[in-house]
Structure 1
Amino acid sequence: MSARRILFVPAALALGAALTLTACGSDKAGGSAQAAKPSQSATAGTDAGAAATTAPQPAASTPAAGAPAPGNTGAARPKTPTTPTTATGAGSAAGGGESYAYTHSCKAANLTVKVTTRGGNADQRVIEVHNQGSTYCGLSYYPLVSVGKSADRGNTVTPLVPGGLGGPPAYALAPGKSTFAVIDLNPGSGSAGDYDELNVLADDQMPNADTRNFPLGAGAKVGKQPKLGLYADSADHAAQSTALAGKS
């Protein structure tokens, strides 16, 4: 999803309101006008912690009891759902299409989650969320993510995320399709320490118990302020949206 698309919807609504007022004025003058809701796969499958694109990733470990979640605040959804430009699948697919997803959040039992290293950038990790259910479902604009230490799960770093988003489900995920989010672990902000684990909660409305923990792999460098982008239809598009992190 692009920031331009997100910003376009409110602008379009404002323009529509202006046109409607103009139409009413013409009618009074005698003219006619027509008014115009962060180990392994979320289902304990075998695909969690899949091999990295450019470097192999160790298999994700099983979340330990009481493992910390990235922080479920429920604040990553827009008040007025909009069809993201990167939503996958046709609107007429099973489960009522994209509109169905905006009132039906994804369930962890119907999702699998993978983390791999992005090709060409050893500091970026691709988070892939796959809908293995039979209907559309809705996700927040981005997953809840934190970077931590497997030996000390109380010590975590939370990435910058795009601002100004909150409300009901925003990203419509078609059955059998995947969406992607990218976190840049070290966007030139200096070293934060020896972190080795990525904690992922696919949707901000899920309970913290659905958080999955993935090893970062040997040699991972974590900066003081990682950046996380929006869900998108490809890793490349998701990586581009990391530029929105920290901006409202």
Structure 2
Amino acid sequence: MSTFRNRSVVLAAATTAVLALALTACDGDSTGTKSAGPASDAATAAASAEASQPATDAKADGSAQNTGATKTGTSKTGTSDGSTRTGGDTSDSYAYKHPCKSGDLSVRVYPREGSATQHVIEVNNVGANSCGLSYFPQVSLGAAKASDHSGDVRPAVPGGLGGAPAYPVKPKTAAIAVIDLNPKGGEGVTWINEMNVLADGDHMANADTQNFELGPAVKVLDPKLGLYESTVAAAVDSMKQAATS
């Protein structure tokens, strides 16, 4: 009986020891998991905050740089473009006091549609300001290769001129004159093959004269030149008022 009791006590003690060890192991795992969990979450949060912070700063820096460039660019470009487009004076009063310069003009000469003897002289203002021209262009007709142009033919122009001190031309508009090389359609001279045009004979030097080739079949007789006008039709009417000598 005593032997059995001793064995029971030993087994009970052993069982108790085993249970104690098991509980200790469980408590250790549980404590380890709890301490590791918050540490892992904290590290993840810190890493996330650290990664997001530079991205936010970079975005802020980028935004600041973009805003500055946009403001600077818009200011400079807007001012430059604005002064170019709207900086000029387009009034007639300004044109009366400022004769056109040859560098601000583009001159064209071409046959008038529907006429065999008339040509259009178109003077375009390509400058930024209005400018003033003489009442009509200075025109002579001659031979391109002639060494002496004293015999060149000059057209008749309207008389009795007066009024404004100049013909005003606004930027990007044209002053138009029409010349009829042979108003009566008679047998004219055939040696003339060039038209010489000075846009403003009152203020420009002869060196600013431009030369335009005429066709080989041109016959010139008592040519007539009108005043500068804003349309071809008005220029034709003005040309008809020129008195031939």
- Which TM class, normalised by the smaller chain length? 0.5 to 0.7
One-letter amino acid of the structure 1 residue matched with residue 237 of structure 2? Q
Q: Which amino acid aligns with 2:124?
A: H
Match of 2:231 in 1: 234
Aligned partner of residue 209 in structure 1, secondary structure? helix
Which digits, 9 at most, give the CA deviation of each residue in 1:115-172, with x for residues without a partner?
0000011211100000000000000111000111112152310000112236974211
- SS class of match (1:194): coil
Equivalent residues in 2 for 1:52-71 (5 A)?
Answer: none
Q: Which of the pair has more CA radius of gyration? A: 2
Mapped pair 1:98 → 2:92? yes
Distance in 2, matches of 1:108 and 1:211, equals: 9
* Distance verdict in 2 for CA 1:238–1:216, change over 3 Å: same
TM-score by length of 2: 0.59
Evaluate the alpha carbon distance shift between residue 182 and residue 146 of structure 1 in structure 2; reply closer, same or farther with a 3 A threshold: same
* Shift in CA distance, 207/166, structure 1 to aligned 2, threshold 3 Å: farther
Name the structure 2 match of 1:214.
Answer: 212
Counterpart CA distance in 2 for 1:150 and 1:169 is 33
SS in 2 for 1:238: helix
**Which consecutive unaligned segments of at least 5 residues does structure 2 have?**
1-85
Q: 2:178 corresponds to which letter in structure 1?
A: V
Could you say which residue in structure 1 is the equivalent of 2:141?
147
Q: Distance in 1 between matches of 2:87 and 2:155?
A: 34
Q: Distance in 1 between matches of 2:233 and 2:143?
A: 27
Aligned residues: 155
Residue 196 of structure 1: CA displacement?
0.4
SS of aligned partner of 1:135: coil
Q: In structure 1, the residue corresponding to 2:124 is in which secondary structure?
A: strand
Greater CA deviation, 185-194 or 166-175? 166-175
CA distance in 1, matches of 2:179, 2:233: 12
Give the partner amino acid of 1:138: G
Give secondary structure in 2 for the equivalent of 1:183: strand
Letter of the 1:192 counterpart: V
The structure carrying a bigger helix percent of its residues is 2
Unaligned residue ranges in structure 1 (runs of 5+): 1-91
Where does residue 161 of structure 2 map in the other structure? 165
Deviation at 1:194, TM superposition (A): 1.9
SS of structure 2 residue aligned to 1:236:
helix
> 2:177 pairs with 161, 175, 181, which one?
181
RMSD: 2.1
1:124 is aligned to 118
What's the TM-score once normalised by structure 1's chain length?
Answer: 0.58
Is this contact kept in 2: 1:105–1:169, CA < 8 A?
no
Post-superposition Cα deviations, 1:77-99, rounded to whole Å, max 9, x if no partner, equal xxxxxxxxxxxxxxx99415011
State the alpha-carbon separation in 1 of the partners of residues 152 and 188 from structure 2. 14
Q: Secondary structure at the match of 1:101?
A: helix
1:115 paired to 2:109: yes
* Secondary structure class of the residue paired with 1:217: coil
Distance in 2, Cα, partners of 1:93 & 1:233: 24
Asked whether the 8 Å contact 2:177–2:225 carries over to 1, the reply is yes
Provide the identity percentage.
48
SS in 2 for 1:157: coil
